[in-house]
Amino acid sequence: MRNPRKLLSIFSLTVRLKYSTKPNCHSYLSCSSANLYTRCAMMQSSVKSLRSICCFSQIIRTSFNTLSSSSSSYSTQPLNTSSITVLTNLCSKGRIKEAFESFKSEIWSDPNLFSHLIHGCISKNSISWGKQLHAITITSGCYLDKFVNNHLLNMYGKLGELETVLVLYNVMHRKNVMSSNILINGYLQSDDLGGAQKVFDEMPERNVATWNAMVTGMIQYEHNEEGLGLFSRMHLLGFSPDEFTLGSVFRGCAGLRALFCGREVHVYAIKSGHGLSLVVGSALANMYMRCRSLEEGERVIQGMPIHNVIACNTLIAGRAQNGCPEGALEQYNIMKKAGFQPDKITFVSVLSSCSELGTLGQGLQIHAEVIKRGVTSVVPLVSSLISMYSRCGCLEESIKAFMQCKDADVVLWSSMISAYGFHGKGGEAIELFKHMEREGLEANNVTFLSLLYACSHCGLKDEGLEYLDLMVKKYGLKPRLEHYTCAVDLLERSGCLLQAEDMIRSMPSKADAVIWKTLLSACKTHKNTEMAKRIAEEVLKLDPLDSASYVMLANIQASAKRWDEVSTVRKAMRDRRIKKEPGVSWFEFKNEVHQFTMGAKYHPRSIEIYLYLKELMSDIKKCGYVPDTGSVLQDMDTEVKEQNLAQHSEKLAIAFALMITPPGFPIRVMKNLRVCDDCHVAIKYISRIKDREIIVRDTSRFHHFKYGECSCSDYW
């Protein structure tokens, strides 16, 4: 006989005939069940059954000896409310043995009470106790109760024992919708969406929990469209989702950036009475913020009657992701004042805001909080620390954070490769990648993007193109548009402009404005006026309101002294009401951020700053600095052009930093645009005559100025 269901039925019959109450019969039956499983080719269950004998023998022997000697004294009265409360509390605290011994007579009278013990195994995360209880239900015959069986299924599923769930499910005499729902959740917990879908499709009957599980599962595995489709079917069939399902649906809308769909579900949530719950409110706010509707998301958070850490994290992350890093840090301070304790998710968001702003002082304070909370080994947090220190100009601290992490994964290695690249350390980035390969870690798309970026900023054209080829041939990865953008940058920095244009026109990905702007910038560097005009047309087709492209084209025409063409470009900007993005530079000192824009005099010490800057420019001219007046767009006198250049935001920031910082103190300046050629030359002279290290972060990379040289080797 090879039918496990029939064999288990025979086994249960012996239990019902009370053979199991004979001396040592529990061991005999356990051995017999192992033999049955083995004959049915269920080797794993056989091994488990045999192992159970040693573990469960004592508790089963004690239970059945008691059952034999004093069965007449067992209470047949149901437990009262207070006794059930005591039983539940003991189980929830993991005191399962105490609970069993305290209420064993009642448990034998009412097998449904096994559910509390079984649930306690989940709370305690104890598979061994779960197996002991399972053995007792079999030898006592209680396993024939589908309520008990469903709790056993749930326990095995929650503890990650999917194979045991399948065996138990297949031999169950009576199944119901709950049994199938538990199996679906077991598959989902084991990352088997296909298995869950198969069970769902084959179910003759479904309830609201079935639909909730599948909608949540689909969206959890980023099958957002399918998940929203199931939600729609669920609604049409008259099933009402719970708050957790609505939370998943909002996450699906966020993943698809489906703002209109999200608003419709928002209305539905209000009508169904779920609009103000913490779960729905936080997911709804997250949806609005990820769909670039920050104000709507903030209104949802503000309208929630109570807040928790999740709601605070949603608001902080939303502000950080929508270009409001200052607002994210402000909310972080409000959160702490309100008494909420930041968690690892909070720290990731606020560290990314420090990275964006380049505020090292605040980053250091948050790092101290991370250490205090004891979460320094959390990989996403370490990755954020690497990025924060790197983008604040402290590469050595990034390396230190990376080296201290014992369980570095591919994300951390990629972050460190990116940090090297951002600081112009292409050789180190390549060596780290080779080390990563030796460690047996498999590179992904992000790793290669970081590597290509590092190569492009160090002029390593041949190496970069080799890695682009390697990611396809060795790793089987398909290059994305971002990888091709780096490859184009590699080519154009080496002067291969036509080859770069050919790559854009022949690549499988559809070109966007960014990749064309990369080539347009190269036309400016290599003074290729004719090509620039052609490439600018491609950019403006895709993004007709991009101010940077107009400015670059005007700069190229101005360099060639084609003032009529410059006027044409400027007129086009006026006609379309396009304004040049103003250059902004800032630096942090003693936790205070000082911000400067070109020619602005709003700083309280503006008069001192301009006088100091005038003297500074005079000093570097004596050392050989010559202003690059050719880069000024307007057709004006040379003296006026020089005054114009001297008032660039980065020069103002550096002048003020030199005024207020002690000698030898490194100066870190951040800028929202690319550093111009004139400022790059001027800062080299300033670093030499003032004997200071000046670190400037622009939109492209970090420039480390020291002793009159720059780490980029004039290649940026």
307: its two tokens: 């807040």
Residue pair 64/139 in contact (Cβ under 8 Å)? The answer is yes
Position 56 scores a pLDDT of: 40
Position 642 scores a pLDDT of: 84
45: its two tokens: 């269950």
Q: What does the H/E/C string look like for 190-237?
A: CCCHHHHHHHHHHCCCCCHHHHHHHHHHHHHCCCHHHHHHHHHHHHHC
In angstroms, the CA 132 to CA 62 distance is 13
Task: Using alpha carbons, select from 677, 655, 663, 669 the residue that is nearest to residue 698.
Answer: 669
For 527, phi then psi, to 5°, come to: 55, 45
Q: What does the H/E/C string look like for 469-538?
A: HHHHHCCCCCCCHHHHHHHHHHHHHCCCHHHHHHHHHHCCCCCCHHHHHHHHHHHHHCCCHHHHHHHHHH
For 592, phi then psi, to 5°, come to: -115, 130
- Determine if the pTM surpasses 0.95: no
Count of other CB atoms within 10 angstroms of residue 404: 12
Task: Using alpha carbons, select from 568, 520, 574, 564 the residue that is nearest to residue 542.
Answer: 520
DSSP state of 648: -
CA–centroid distance for 621 within its chain:
49
In angstroms, the CA 620 to CA 694 distance is 15
Position 79 scores a pLDDT of: 59
Position 81 scores a pLDDT of: 67
Name every residue whose Cβ is closer than 8 Å to that of residue 426 and which is 6 or more positions away in sequence.
420, 454, 455, 457, 458, 459, 460, 463
Query: Which H or E element spans position 671?
Result: strand 667-671
In angstroms, the CA 251 to CA 228 distance is 10
Position 14 scores a pLDDT of: 43
Packing angle, helices 344-357 and 309-321, rounded to 10: 20
Compute the C-alpha angle 636/641/647, nearest 5°: 140
The helix/strand/coil state of 89 is helix
For the chain, the maximum distance between any two Cα atoms, rounded to a whole number of angstroms, is: 112
DSSP state of 142: G
In angstroms, the CA 312 to CA 622 distance is 55
Report, as ranges of residue numbers, the positions in the chain whose pLDDT lies below 50: 1-2, 4-76
Residue pair 525/551 in contact (Cβ under 8 Å)? The answer is no
CA–centroid distance for 32 within its chain:
51
Packing angle, helices 114-124 and 146-158, rounded to 10: 0
Position 408 scores a pLDDT of: 86
52: its two tokens: 């159970």
Compute the C-alpha angle 419/422/428, nearest 5°: 60
- Which position has the token pair 């770069």? 500
In angstroms, the CA 44 to CA 291 distance is 49
In angstroms, the CA 347 to CA 137 distance is 47
Name every residue whose Cβ is closer than 8 Å to that of residue 697 and which is 6 or more positions away in sequence.
358, 391, 393, 668, 669, 670, 671, 703
The strand order across the sheet containing 694-697 reads 592-597, 584-589, 667-671, 694-697, 702-706, 709-710
Name every residue whose Cβ is closer than 8 Å to that of residue 75 and which is 6 or more positions away in sequence.
105, 106, 109
**What are the extents of the domains in the chain?**
86-205, 428-511, 518-581, 585-710
Residue pair 220/208 in contact (Cβ under 8 Å)? The answer is no
Residue 632's region, left for phi above 0, alpha for psi from -120 to 50, else beta, is beta
Name every residue whose Cβ is closer than 8 Å to that of residue 662 and which is 6 or more positions away in sequence.
none
H helices within 560-701, ranges in order?
Answer: 563-575, 606-622, 638-646, 649-660, 677-689
In angstroms, the CA 254 to CA 251 distance is 5
Residue 159's region, left for phi above 0, alpha for psi from -120 to 50, else beta, is alpha
The helix/strand/coil state of 423 is coil
Residue pair 13/43 in contact (Cβ under 8 Å)? The answer is no
- Calculated CA dihedral for residues 39, 45, 51, 52, nearest 10 degrees: -110
Position 634 scores a pLDDT of: 65
Residue pair 186/157 in contact (Cβ under 8 Å)? The answer is yes
In angstroms, the CA 283 to CA 45 distance is 42
For 214, how many CA atoms within 13 A lie in the half-sphere containing its CB?
25
In angstroms, the CA 680 to CA 684 distance is 7
